[in-house]
Amino acid sequence: MKEKISDLIAGNECAHVLYAYQDRGKYLKNTITYILEGIEIGEHIILIENERNMNALFIELNTQLTSDQLERVHAISNFDFYQSSGSYHPPAIYEQLMNTITPFIENGVAFRSWTNVEWGTLDDPCSIVDWFENETDRVVHNLNLTVVCAYDSEKMPDQLEESLKKNHGHLMSDKDISTSKIYSQ
């Protein structure tokens, strides 16, 4: 998978990747690969992740990165990120996204982002997640960003998955990565 992620990013000015994962172990391994590749080329990493995964990731990162390199990994609780307004409210999440990336952009700091998208107790997240992902896709292309949006495939309604394939140029699974055939920029 490492070669495939590297090839995807090297061949594109920007990348908006939908990662529908099934296996937590493979998910964590792919997250580590993505982070290490970014650090290796001098980028900072914005990691928006749940606490359980964050702890596992940092145990591994502490064995592979120097303290200077670890300082380039900017960890944000995905609960805090997505619930910044007290609920999963897309305009507030979008504002949170812009507040997070603006200092990097204004200071000319190269970065990539990895986000584990979770929506808590919402019964039907489709329309609000779709709105947010459409806005994110616009930002990705306007600013030439590299962003992975990871979703637990078991918790993702079929309707949401089909919608997300339309606003992510690349599709990733635990084992593969490809170009979306139904992406509509």
pLDDT category at 47 given cuts 50, 70, 90 is very high
The CATH number for 119's domain is 3.40.50.300
Q: Which tens digits make up the pLDDT trace of 90-132?
A: 777 788 888 999 999 999 999 999 999 887 655 666 777 777 7
- pLDDT in the model for residue 68: 97
Q: Of residues 139 and 58, which shows the higher confidence score?
A: 58
Question: Is residue 71 over pLDDT 60?
Answer: yes
Judge whether 57 lies within some domain.
yes
pLDDT category at 2 given cuts 50, 70, 90 is low
Q: Of all residues in the chain, what percent carry a pLDDT higher than 90?
A: 51
Pairing between strand 111-116 and 177-179?
Answer: unpaired
Three-state SS string over 106-148 comes to: HCCCCEEEEEECCCCCCCCCHHHHHHHHHHHHHHHHHHCCEEE
Domain count, the chain: 1
Judge whether 185 lies within some domain.
no
For tokens 């949401």, name the residue: 160
Instruction: Flag the least confident range among 66-70, 71-75, 121-125, 156-160.
Output: 121-125
Full domain range(s) for residue 156: 2-179
pLDDT category at 37 given cuts 50, 70, 90 is very high
CA–CA distance, 64 with 150 (Å, rounded to integer): 23
Tell me the sheet residues that pair with 15.
Answer: 146
Judge whether 23 lies within some domain.
yes
Judge whether 184 lies within some domain.
no
Instruction: Flag the least confident range among 1-5, 84-88, 116-120, 146-150.
Output: 84-88
Judge whether 22 lies within some domain.
yes
pLDDT, averaged across the chain: 87
- pLDDT in the model for residue 120: 64
Angle at 52 between CA 23 and CA 130, to 5 degrees: 65
Distances (CA, A) of 75 to 13, 40, 72, 89, 114: 24, 18, 9, 21, 10
Query: Would you list the DSSP string of 51-67?
Result: HHHHHHHHHHHHHHS-H
pLDDT category at 1 given cuts 50, 70, 90 is low
Contacts of 160 (CB under 8 A, 6+ apart): 125, 126, 129, 130, 151
- pLDDT in the model for residue 46: 97
CA–CA distance, 141 with 143 (Å, rounded to integer): 5
